[in-house]
Structure 1
Amino acid sequence: MVYMRDGTIARVADPDVMLTSEKAASTAGWAEPSRYAVAGVQVNTVSGPAMVWSRVPLSGAEQALRTLYGALLPGVPAVLLVVALMTWYSVGRALAPVAAIRVKVADITARDLHQRVPVPGSKDEVAALATTVNGTLDRLETAVETHKRFVADAAHELRSPIATLRARLELAEQSELTKEALADVERLQSLAADLLILAKLDAGEPLRASELDLGQVAAEESLRARRRPEVRVELDIEPDVVMKGSRAHLDRLVTNLADNAVRHAASAVRVRVHAEDGQAVLHVQDDGPGIPPEQREAVFDRFTRLDEARARDAGGAGLGLPIARDIAVLHEGTLVYADSGFVAKFPLKRI
């Protein structure tokens, strides 16, 4: 057998002895076998079969592996992080116009249809989408403005003939038929007035606001004569609840809430005004059956009447509460129905 040892060859007399690489290395007095790669091959010589062994140190390979691990362990996560950041930036940059369109469309309401979504400078599908949305808003604004003008013009034109008809009925000889006709005319007159107010509110006319005492407005409008004089109106007014608003609009809001409460009350209506958490609060409550929870938002829809069976002259057209809510929203306030009645809240004017 022949062993390679630092470039020299050691020969063993007995060729029949087959040693493993580890045993051969140990026999030859080599260093620790685990630090080297050892290979052997049997060859035929003039003296007979022999094994030729060769070794290669593993230090180079180990150094290469250490270098590779040192580069890959921090390098791969860093590369993945850079790729993720670049992808996030690229996708965000590409979708930024879409986000701007979404935000703008979410802000557009029926009161500000004149607004338009931004059109990006890039001539791609996103720009085409923005152009299409703006075109749709143009057509929608035109249709809504046409509808508003029609309602306002119709309500305005109906006021004069209705007033004339009412005057004639009041001067005519009184009979059962005349009384019924007069009740219908009064209801029609109220409907025309409500439609005109709704048209003005929908048109977004600027609010002519001034400082006023909400308690004074509530007291004056709640004590006006109504169809059911037997219903008692109780007042709980806190002084100096000052807010900024339109006196005409707030008169109408209180009137609509009080009329609704008197219409459905059993015997009494309570009107309360107070300041709470920086807000002016108007609370109108009646001792009637109340509104079921599942219908407390439906009552603010236009032309909604929950009690369809009531007499025609006793009920409204279903516009009083929607008008009241629109007036509250116009004053940056809210109007809801809670368990205890209607609650309107407005920003309180600090004095």
Structure 2
Amino acid sequence: MTRLPAWTATLTWKAAVFITVMCCALAALLGTLVHVSVAGQTVKDSRGKALSRLDEVSRLYESGEPLPRFAGVDPAGLPESLRALALRGERGTMVTEFEGRPTMWAAAPADGRALAVRIDYTQSAATIDGLDRSILGSSVLAIGATLLVGAFSVTRITRRLHATAQVARRISAGDLDARVDDPRTKDPSRPQDEVATVSGALDTMASSLQRKLQTEQRFTADVAHELRTPLTGLSAAAELLPEGRPSEMVRERVRTMRALTEDLLEISRLDAGTEKVDLAVHDLGPLAERVVRASGTATEVRVVRDVRVETDRRRLERVLGNLVANAHKHGAPPVVLTVDGPVVTVRDHGPGFPEYLLSAGPQRFRTEGGGKGHGLGLTIAAGQAEVIGAELVFSDVRVEDEEGAGAEHGGGGALARLTLPTRPPVSADDADGTTVVGGTDGLSDTDDTDRTTVTGDTDGTHGAGGTDGTPGAGRTGA
């Protein structure tokens, strides 16, 4: 089935079609009424004139006087139906063609024959034809003018609707300062149409949402700040406890609380949108290897194609550290970190990401299956990736899609893909003395190498979290 173009679904197009159809219907109705009325009056006048002449000719015929040239008994060209009517003793009229011209006939009985007269109907027929052409031309002009005025009016409405929709999209993307600011909503005494009502409701909703989010952000930041001081004292006191299992449990809980507090502070800064990036050029492969070494996990690092990227090293290490920690905590070995140009993937072979994360992204304080963690690690990773201008995508790996090295482990698992902006190509020695081989994609001299490194504990034990020493977050939003 052939699908209609997308523009046919627009309000402007639908309004134009509606206006056109209604104008055509109205023009046809009015044109028909005028045509029938004028044509009926014209025929009536011509018929009356023809019958008057027929009366005069009848008197001449009865007195035996010669008949005029436009009258006669059984004249040539008289319609047979009108002749039969006269032979039945009745009078009648009819319009037909006679010698190539419209003619009005009138006939009456006369001694068993038909006495008839004719008058020229050309002028009357021309009047009706001219009227029809005038009606058609006027209808076309009226439809065109109405369509232009209607399209202009509808376009003004659709422009306001598009502006409202654009503001709604900006708000959904995180720009809580966006407002429609329809001038019709600023003056309460001014009548408002439906579009102004929708615009005002959207602005009110955005303001309310902004206030609530700002209140939540301030609350989160205040709570985290207030917790830092007692946690610092508690940590110092825990170190003074005698060695033993109870002391270890206290210290572990204190470390967990401190990590959670730092994560809350980081999220509050990300929510506030005040983060500043410290850009510098780094080799992506060595940076990824350092992150894995710092995590203390048995993670396999594969550098398929190294590249130089301009990014904030601390934030990038935070993102990769959280992804690696999440893969070990909620996935299954082996965990593989792959660098292929500006794309870094972290893959495990566990059950994969939960459905809600794939559809809506990481959600803070939500974990799956009762696992450890607070659901903040992936939330922080997504926020820091946005700050450095990278794209972070979460997906599951299907067994049938596996190729190469992935297939040898049985397939499946979770896959986090981080795509970084690359540095413009460099053809000269950079500041630290490393020579960059010229290329259009700005790749370093390791482009054609495939370097695979396994870092971390050889016994496959899983260490904690990211590069800042905090525990990794949960699969569902860590």
Bin for the TM-score computed over the shorter chain:
0.7 to 0.9
The superposition leaves residues 251-281 of structure 1 with CA deviations (integer Å, 9 ceiling, x where unpaired) of 2111110101122344432111222xxxx21
Aligned to 1:291: 353
The CA distance in 2 between the partners of 1:32 and 1:143, in whole Å, is 91
Amino acid at match of 2:352: G
Which one of the candidate residues 322, 333, 339 is aligned to 2:390?
A: 333
In structure 1, what residue type is equivalent to 2:259?
A: S
| Corresponding residue for residue 120 of structure 2 | 57
User: 1:267-282 to 2 correspondence within 5 Å?
Assistant: 267-275=333-341, 280-282=342-344
Aligned residues: 322
- What is the Cα-based RMSD across aligned positions, in Å? 3.3
Residue 135 of structure 1 deviates from its aligned partner by 4.0
Q: Structure 1 counterpart of 2:368, which letter? A: L
Change (3 A) 1:338 1:111: closer
- Once the two structures are TM-superposed, the CA of residue 191 in structure 1 deviates from its matched residue by 1.1
Residue 36 (structure 1) aligns with = 103
Gaps of 5+ in 2: 1-57, 75-79, 87-96, 398-414, 426-478
2:393 matched to 1:319? no
SS in 1 for 2:420: strand
In structure 1, what is the equivalent of residue 289 of structure 2?
219
2:166, 2:176 → 1: CA distance?
Answer: 14
| C-alpha separation in 1, matches of 2:124 and 2:335 | 95
Residues in 1 aligned to 2:69 and 2:183: alpha-carbon distance in whole angstroms: 75
SS of 1:223's equivalent in the other structure is: helix
Asked which structure has the greater RCO (Cα within 8 Å, sep 6+), the reply is 2
Structure 2: distance between partners of 1:327 and 1:321: 10
Matches within 5 A, 1:126-205: 126-127=195-196, 130-205=199-274
CA apart distance, 1:211: 2.9
Instruction: Report how far residue 66 of structure 1 moved.
Output: 3.6
Q: 2:329 aligns with which of 254, 263, 267?
A: 263
Q: Matches of 1:242 and 1:250 in 2, distance apart?
A: 13
The alignment status of 1:254 with 2:316, answered yes or no, reads: no
8 Å contact 1:211–1:242 — kept in the other structure?
Answer: no
Q: Which runs of 5+ in 1 are unaligned?
A: 13-18, 25-29
Inter-CA distance 97–292: structure 2 relative to 1 (3 Å threshold): closer
Corresponding position of 1:27 = none
Of 140, 145, 149 in structure 2, the residue corresponding to residue 86 of structure 1 is 149
Structure 1 letter corresponding to 2:249 = E
Query: Could you tell me how far 1:323 is from its partner in structure 2?
Result: 1.3
- Residue 340 of structure 2 aligns with an amino acid whose one-letter code is H
- The aligned counterpart of 2:365 is 303
1:88 deviates by 1.5
Deviations along 1:213-259, whole A, 9 cap, x unmatched? 33333221121144xx5xx2111235652333322222211111010
Secondary structure of the structure 2 residue equivalent to 1:342: strand
Q: 1:242 aligns with which of 297, 303, 308?
A: 308
Q: 1:174 aligns to what SS in structure 2?
A: coil
Aligned match of 2:476: none
Please state how far the C-alpha of 1:206 moved relative to its aligned partner.
4.0
Q: In the alignment, what sits opposite 1:350?
A: 424
Q: State how far apart, in whole Å, the 1-side matches of 2:288 and 2:268 are.
A: 25
Structure 1 residues 4 and 82: alpha-carbon distance in aligned structure 2, compared to 1, 3 A threshold: farther
More displaced, 136-145 or 149-158?
136-145
**Shift in Å, 1:68:** 3.8
Q: Alignment partner for residue 175 of structure 2, among 112, 117, 130?
A: 112
Q: Is 1:76 the equivalent of 2:143?
A: no
Higher strand share: 1
- Aligned-partner Cα distance in 2 for 1:305–1:234: 26
Q: Give the structure 1 partner of residue 467 of structure 2.
A: none
**Is the contact made by 1:249 and 1:327 (CA closer than 8 Å) also made in structure 2?**
yes
Give the partner amino acid of 2:167: K
Q: Whole-Å Cα distance in 2 between the matches of residues 101 and 143 of structure 1?
A: 22
Letter in 2 for 1:255: G
Shift of the alpha carbon at 1:107? 1.0
TM-score, normalised by the number of residues in structure 1: 0.78
User: In 1, are the aligned partners of 2:280 and 2:311 still within 8 Å (CA)?
Assistant: yes
Displacement of 1:199:
0.3
Q: Distance in 2 between matches of 1:127 and 1:224?
A: 57
**TM-score (normalizing by structure 2):** 0.59
Shift of 1:320: 0.6
Structure 1 residues 187 and 211: alpha-carbon distance in aligned structure 2, compared to 1, 3 A threshold: same
- Of stretches 280-289 and 259-268 in structure 1, the one that deviates more from structure 2 is 259-268
